[in-house]
Each structure stands twice: as structure tokens, then as C-alpha cells.
Structure 1
Amino acid sequence: MNTSRVCTPPLHRVVAVMSSWLSIRISKVFLLLLLSVPLYKPERNVALTGTAIQSTDQGHLWTANKAIDNCINQSVTSNCCALTSDEGYTQAEWRVDLGQMRTIQYITIYFRHNSASRFGGYTLFVSNSTAHLHDIVCYKDNSSKAADLQLNPTHQCPYVARYVTIYNYRENPARQTWYDKYAILELCEVQVFGCPMGSFGNGNCNSNCLESCLGGNCNANNGSCFYCFPGMFGEFCEQHCSTDCSMSTCEKETGLCQECVNGTYGIVCELDCSVNCEDKTCMKETGYCLECVAGLYGSNCTQTCPMNCQNECDRYTAVCKDALYGNMTTNSMTLPITMGRMSAMELFDSLKTESTTIYGNLETFLMMTTKEQWTFETGS
């Protein structure tokens, strides 16, 4: 009787193949982990060495320091959350003192589960004093519904600061109908990622900020400068501002001049103001003269003031500032001549006297005007 035979490899070969397959699978998983998990964090949680306080306590178990104990369990029964009192307060505040000024990069908050109605509308501040006069707002929640709130948000906050504050308040009428009546904070952990001043990077913050950074401070993640010395700009303050920038000062990111040296205008002050501008000074953006040289008016001071102006006129309306006879905006002249039984010679003499006062002599007056421009004021 013919019996079907199944070709089965020896046991040691099966084990070897399985071992090889398992090794490949494990290697692939490990490779995926390496690709998906950062090899290092660019900064560290500097809140862990700080001290925290809060405006009120909900009993002795949920004190302020529970939010910086490195426990991220978001259940109130975990005994690792900080809770302010729920007994009718309209304001609630929690603050951590980092011990010294730190270069902060971002802040991650772990709120208690199912507490959106209580912490909705919160504000995140950083500062260098406990007074709220100079607080910098890193984030303010304006969610229109509870479902939009994140229980584990991360907020970018690239500032140098010593204190981090989370604040909330309630008012009547309520800002949102779904808000709890009273202000309550329930924080299970607040992580402040950054470095000591003057350093950045690789989890241990062991790289020094560049000397080109003003004050020696830089981004805790990549070392880019917060501020530059006068005359420099760029991510690492490695470029020079234009020499046409007033006091060699320009915007850090773009290099655009904040103000121009006298006589220039434009985004990098590369253009010359008109010679018709008084002191050759003009507006940085448009090049329009701030004031005109005597005798001219207009945006660029290219138009001549009326002849009735002794020296100068308003640069926008051309009205004389020192008119000889009234404020006239055309090249005409009013001669106050007493009319009556006046002979032609008397009229000529009067005209000659008035024109000499204005133009120096009658000939100049006649040359610069026409009879249509003459206006006579009659009197008794």
C-alpha cells in the first residue's frame, strides 16, 4: 500500500528557522522603535526641582507640590494631583518657582480626568516675579465647548523665566454656559521643559549658547539666539545689519531696519530722500518728506509755494505761513489801493509802491503776473 509521505525538515532546522524568523521580527520591531522614539529629549523637566504653591488647598492630600512629583496619573484617587478648594472661590491659581531663571521651551499639563468644566478658560503665564505686572501669556483657553479642551495639552513657551503660573477665574454672567460656577484647578502634573540659562540641548542641557547671543540666552531646543547684539541679526545672530540702519539696529529675524540714518529710506534704508526734504529727512516707508525746504510743498516737496508767501507754505495745503496779503493759494496778489477820483498816474504810483513791497520792483511784478490776477480792494 502506497503511503503519502510528508517531507518534514529535521527538528533542529525548524528551530533554527523559527529562531531566525523571530530574530528578524524582533530586529524589525526594535528598528521601528528606534525610528519612532527620539534618541534623546532636547531639554529636561526643570519643574521637578522647583517648589509649588496654590491659592487654596482641597484638603491636605492634594497640595501644590503634587503637580511636580513626576506622577502623571490623571485620576484623583492616585494621590498625585494638586487640587484647589471647591468651596466657592471665583479665582484659582497654581504657581511653581523654578529656583532660578530658566530658558523654557514648552510646558505640558496633565489635568484631572473629567474636569473640563472646572479648568475651562484657564491662562498659562511665565514671569520673573510673583507680581502679575509683567506676566507673559503663553496660552489662554478660549474653547467654546468642553469637548474642545485637551486634558494633556503642550504649550510652546520659549521665554526666559523663573515662575510658571496657571490661573483661572469665574464671573457672572459666565463666559461659557458649560463652565463650573466656581474656579477650580485640578493639576495632576505640570512639566516645564527647558535648560538653565546659557545652555541648551540633548536632555542634559550640556551645550553652551553662542557668544553671539545677547545675554548668553538661547532656545533650549536648538540653541538659536533669543536676542542679538546691536548691529547683528539672524537665527544665531551671525549676520550684520545694514550700515544705513539707524544705530546699526535691525529686526532679528529679517534684518529690516527699524529706523534709517538721516537721508535714507526703504526696508533696508537703501534709497535716498529727496534733496527737497528739509534736512534731507523723510518717512522710512514711503520716502515722503517730513518737512519741505522753504518755498516748496507736496508729498515730495516738488511744488512751489504761491508767490504771495514770503518764505514758506503748508506742505499739504499750500496755505502761506507768512502771507504778505492774506492766505492765498494761487499766484495772485491783492493790492489794498484806495480808489476814487484817482488819476492814472496816481494808480500807477500806488501799484508801483505795493509791488515794490512784495516783489522788489514793479517790473518783476509785471513780469510774474498778468492783469487777470490783479485784484483791487476799493475803499472810500
Structure 2
Amino acid sequence: MKTYDIGQSSTAKTVWWIVDLGGNHSIYSIIVVFKNYKEYEMRQRGRFAGFSLFLSNTPHKEDGHLCYKNSLPLPPLDFNTTCIGYGRYVIYYNERLDGVTYPEGYQIQNAYTELCEVKVQGCSESGLYGTNCTKTCPINCKRQRCNIINGTCLGCVPGYMGELCEKKCSWGWHGVDCKKECTGHCARNTSCNHQTGNCNEGCAGGWMGQLCDIQCKSGTYGPGCIHNCSGHCLNDAFCNEENGICELGCNAGYTGILSCSSGFFGNNCTCQDGHYGDNCTNVCPTNCTQTCNHKNGYCTEEKVKEESINKIHEKDGDYTEGNKFYNGIDTKKPVDKTYIFMTYLS
């Protein structure tokens, strides 16, 4: 408690008085008893008049909220008011400033504080309300704080709204009081998380980040921007950030909606086994034991089928009919000298 000189000798223009409750509590009412003198009650009420009561979490009234402000009529010297809220400090404040016109009955020489008693009533434990502080505040009340009389929340946790904070945010909204709008880039056009704003099911194509509010960098695409463009878009342009398509077309020698390299197609740009070449339209040579290179058709194994082995005559430029490919080489082309293709078996 802090006071200044009282009576006619006081020169103070503002006065204050603080009650420290020792912790944050749910408050219901405040009682203030101002000093009385026999035959001077009206004078004392005039000194008491105009006072304010604040409830705060710090010793500074500016950090709290105004619970009560007296004007007219003049207050009784045994004063009682309802003050519903949460706080650690109850602050009494009054002033008599120069140049201000005060109502009739106010004592205006200086500001006085002649308090005899300040009593604060409420629940000693947080999260409770009701006549005997036996009821629990709704679970989604911010910091478990509610109106000490009816249990309505004094603010909601993020993602909820309503007097009892029982309603989730509407589709497309999230955060404190549901005032933040979702970015609108969640996968499959789903709403974001009503509490955090994150996209629980990932991002739509072309976006990344927890909130899916960051566009893909040039050269990347897809949900979360995890794919790289093919690099074969016409004039080396970047692909569409959403789906990877080369919107202006492909460079020479490439085709496909994703501009796959030669020999590949589909979402993963891969040929099925047994095919190669542009758009995978060519069939691998029958001499290959398994499959061939997806780009050029060369057999991927060094082994060949026994029945494919043929002797090529020694005469330069001569050859015998038979299978036409060995490891991708066309045996119809003239050869310079004799080759005996040996059969290798596992």
C-alpha cells in the first residue's frame, strides 16, 4: 500500500492504492470502505468521488481493464461493486487535475486517498465458477478462465468460438476467435486445421509449407513442390508449378505431357519392360534374355539365347540369315572378318 499526504496539506493531483492477491484469481466483487468523519460525510464522499477500480496482471493499471468508474451520484463511503474478471492486482485510482471541470459535490482542491479497507471476493482457484466455486469452466476456455457467475468463457483457445467455446471454427477459418482465414491451398480442397491453420493432409499442387502458403520455386512442381520439372520444356521454360506440364510444348526430341526424356512415359517417366525409344513404342529385340535399355534398345544382359547364335562366314562382307540383332547390333551390316558368336550359358 502507498499513500500521499492527506488533508488540506496534500498537494497530490493523482492517488493510487494496490492490492496484491499473490496470484491470478477469478474475481467477483470489490468492497471499498472510505474514511468517514462525523458531520463531514458529504465532504468525504466528495473526496472519494470520481475514483476508478482496475483489475490487472501487473501493478500497472494501463495493463489491466477498468472494472468500475465513479461519476454521479457521489459514492457511499461503504462502497460495493461487481467486478468480474481475472487478475492478480486490484488498483484504486483517483485524480483532481488542473483545468478539468468536475461535477457538483466533488472536492476539487487536491486528490485524497483515505481508504480504511479494500475487500476482494472471488474463487481462490482458477478454472472454477459458481456460488461456492464448485463448477469447472468449459474445457476450451482460454487459460481455463470463465465468468465466475455463469461459466461463460473469457476468451477461447484457438480454433473454437461461442460463449462456452463449444463450436469449432467454420470451414476455411482458424485461430483465435476463428478470425484467420485458411490459405485455400490444402490438398483436395480440404479446410485447414481449425486450431493451427496447417494443412493436415498436405498441400495442393504448386504449394508447400505447413500452411501451404508458399508457392513452388521455379523448376519444381506438385504437392509440397517435391518434384523437379523435366528440363525439356520448349525454350527451356519452367513447367507448370501445379502439375509439371510444359504449357508451351517440348524441346525437339521430347514429347509427353510431362516432357519425359526419350524412352520414358507416364507419371514416373518409365517404360514397361520390353519396350524402348520415343514414348516407349519400340519392342526390345527378341534375342535379349530379359529386357533392353529403355533409350536405345541395347540388351541389358551380356547373355543371349542359344538359339540366336549363328555363324557368320569368313568371307568379308558375307553373312547368314538368322536373328538380326545381337546386343542391339544389326547383323545384316557387312563385317570385316570372321566372327564366331559363342554361346554362354549360366
Task: State the TM bucket, normalised to the shorter chain.
Answer: 0.3 to 0.5
Normalised to the residue count of structure 1, the TM-score between the two structures is: 0.41
Normalised to the residue count of structure 2, the TM-score between the two structures is: 0.45
The higher radius of gyration belongs to: 2
Structure with bigger helix share is 1
